[in-house]
Amino acid sequence: MNVLTYFVKGSSDNLPQVDFNMIHEFYMNNMDYLFAESRNTKNSRATRSSYGDNAIGYVQLKRESHKCTVKARITPEHREHGKMYAVSVVVDENENKILSNYCEDCAAS
């Protein structure tokens, strides 16, 4: 996958810091997710250190001021050999807040 204009290849040392509380706040304040993930079951599973070792493909990011946009190709952990989905997330690094997320290839998008 080619890096998009103004993006750089993502690695463990240049990704924005995202923690469980940021994810929880994003879900609880976003009506698209409020009822579907109110128990945080998926979030708890996704915070395991080994989660995503085989589920995450190419990652790239772009920083503009205090906002960091991360684009990646991922697959659900239970379907690691299935179709990879193009996803993106925007993080406000000053406020430690997830501003948005989007799955380009998801049926529910």
Q: What is the band of 33 on the pLDDT scale with cuts at 50, 70, 90?
A: low
71 or 107: whose pLDDT is higher? Answer: 71
Structure-token match 């009822």, residue found: 35
Q: What is the band of 51 on the pLDDT scale with cuts at 50, 70, 90?
A: low
Select, from the ranges 21-25, 61-65, 80-84, the one with the highest average predicted confidence (pLDDT).
Answer: 61-65
Three-state SS sequence of 3-55:
CCCCCEECCCCCCCCCCHHHHHHHHHCCCCCCCCCCCCHHHHHHCCCCCCCCC
pTM for this model (two decimals):
0.77
CA 92/CA 34 separation, integer angstroms:
21
